[in-house]
Amino acid sequence: MRLGNHWTGAVARFSIFSLTRHALSGHRRWERTWRDATPREGYDIVIIGGGGHGLATAYYLARVHGIRRVAVLEKGWIGGGNAGRNTTIVRANYMLPGNQAFYEWSMKLWERLEQELNYNVMVSQRGVLNLYHSDAQRDFFARRGNSMLLHGAGAELLDRDAVRKIAPFLDFEQERFPIQGGLYHRRGGTARHDAVVWGYARAASALGVDVIQHCEVTGFMRDASGAAIGVETSRGAIRAGKVGISVAGSSSLLAARAGLRLPIESHVLQAFVTEGLKPVLPGVINFGAGHFYISQSDKGGLVFGGGLDGYNSYAQRGNLPVVEDVCESGMAIMPMIGRARLLRSWGGINDMTMDGSPIIDTTPVPGLYLNAGWCYGGFKGTPAAGSCFAHLLATDTAHEVARGYRLDRFATGHMIDEKGNGAQPNLQ
Amino acid sequence: MRIPCPYCGERDAQEFTYRGDAAPVRPQGDAGFFDYVYLRDNPAGPIAEHWYHAQGCRGWLVVERNTRTHEILGARLAGECAR
């Protein structure tokens, strides 16, 4: 079946029966998952950026708010940006007011996402374990765990023996940073990053949203009052009632085209994956005394990463000192990975805000809305960011769990400084 | 990345501490202070940055670097740039 540009019919649902039917016909009759749309003249809302966030925003606009004249513009192909460069971890183990409620909302959306989208996004709640290595760190984790409990996210403070039961392969005897225990977040885990993008694109497309690939936004159309009334793109001008920016990593560059300067620096964060191995890791493990976290993909590769390279970058690749640092940290806590061979490494560009927390807000330009500054939190925040950005675009009011993510919080002093990193505010 | 320190010669970037965009200038009064502390151009391409040669001459440098390629385009002493 060829799908026209204005097609809004329901897509065939995935079920055990459809899988069986297609298996019997040799999998030759699957329809394409979403329409590869061409731009129309205008839309009620145009979302710039076809990553997980942009597509989720479009989906919730159509599904929750009934706004279906929506386009998602992607300069490359969907899922080819940061949606394909993260380490796929989902968790709600924050602490501060303004953050924890948001990530708990995201966790709730993750837990029912497959049923919601009728798409297997492979959410696997295999647990996230944050190790602590000192009395002070234990006390801090107890406090963080209490905040998680108060928000319904669940948290367990484990002692050394309990950690040993979950992860007996850790180096408990190492003298420099002995493992005292861990904060265990059972509901956390991983999801399949590509499937998240494809699932939202499919569901949004089925509701009438145009997902437009290879369409780079080069500027904004403004009316006499300065309000944004559309975008200039590599495929022509597109008018819009409202424009949403959802391009974390490149937010400053796009905002500059609307005359805005943001409290954001772009930094590179590297990640690594080993060859496929038999199951060895029970969940996600974070080293509390170095730059290292690790999980195992369903294909068997050990997916791990560490800290930022630490300097501004748009290069989508990092340098060797951080590779060395991450691997040393990994060997310090989990010597068994020394026998695994590294398959590949890559770098993603992160919007690092001055306080380490994201921005979902209106901008000084009427008609222009901003979803940016995701630091390391973008992937796990995908469903909630889409939900909250859609709420903002549809109603012009902040969603209750995203009220803290204001653009002007840096001017008013209402920072959410959970973990500021990378960016260099001139605070001295 | 290797940074050509005017005192020490070309050295590994690991010897240096990064201190960000060198463009913002501390204002004398309150006006412009918010911009100075928080807002950045965050360019993709050449940028002038402060790097501190902590494990070398302990000098503050202004290093010109391309954020798209990590190419180092030059380095001068910050004191000389200020004059």
pLDDT digits (tens, 9 = 90+) for B37-50: 999 999 999 999 99
Counting residues of chain A whose pLDDT is more than 70, the rounded percentage is: 97
Q: Do domains A33-86+193-263+355-412 and A125-187+265-353 have the same CATH topology?
A: no
Counting residues of chain A whose pLDDT is more than 90, the rounded percentage is: 92
Q: What is the pLDDT of residue A10?
A: 55
Flag if A314 and B68 touch (Cβ within 8 Å). yes
DSSP classification of residue A239? E
Mean pLDDT to the nearest integer, A100-115: 97
CATH architecture, domain A125-187+265-353: 2-Layer Sandwich (3.30)
Q: In whole angstroms, how far apart are CA B29 and each of A425, A426, B21, B26, B37?
A: 18, 15, 21, 9, 13
CB A366 within 8 A of CB A227: yes
Tens-digit pLDDT profile for residues A201-243? 999 999 999 999 999 999 999 999 999 999 999 999 999 999 9
Phi-psi region of A104 (alpha: psi -120 to 50; beta: other; left: phi over 0): alpha
Q: What is the pLDDT of residue B83?
A: 66
Domain-by-domain residue ranges, chain B? 2-82
- pLDDT class for A339, splitting at 50, 70, 90? very high
CB A170 within 8 A of CB A179: yes
* Chain B residues whose beta carbon lies within 8 Å of the beta carbon of residue A424: 18-21
CATH architecture, domain B2-82: 2-Layer Sandwich (3.30)
Mean pLDDT to the nearest integer, A108-112: 97
In a 13 Å sphere around the CA of A318, the CA atoms on its Cβ side amount to 29
Domain-by-domain residue ranges, chain A? 33-86+193-263+355-412, 125-187+265-353
Task: Give dist(CA A49, CA A57) in Å, integer.
Answer: 10
Flag if A262 and B39 touch (Cβ within 8 Å). yes
Task: Give dist(CA A228, CA A237) in Å, integer.
Answer: 13
Which residue, among A75, A311, A408, A415, would best test binding to B if mutated, counting the most B CBs under 10 Å from its CB?
A: A311
Mean pLDDT to the nearest integer, A175-179: 93
Model confidence, pTM? 0.95
Q: In whole angstroms, how far apart are CA A289 and each of A134, A137, A172, A330, A344?
A: 9, 9, 13, 11, 25
Query: Any residues with CB less than 8 A from the CB of A272 and at least 6 apart, and which?
Result: A303, A304, A305, A323, A326, A342, A344, A345
- pLDDT, mean over chain A: 94
Range with the poorest average pLDDT among A61-65, A164-168, A173-177, B60-64: A173-177
Flag if A265 and B18 touch (Cβ within 8 Å). no
- pLDDT class for A73, splitting at 50, 70, 90? very high
CB B59 within 8 A of CB B4: no
Mean pLDDT to the nearest integer, A30-48: 94
CATH code for the domain defined by A33-86+193-263+355-412: 3.50.50.60
**A265: contact with B, CB 8 A cutoff:** yes
Flag if B34 and A411 touch (Cβ within 8 Å). yes
Q: Over 60: is that where the pLDDT of B22 sits?
A: yes
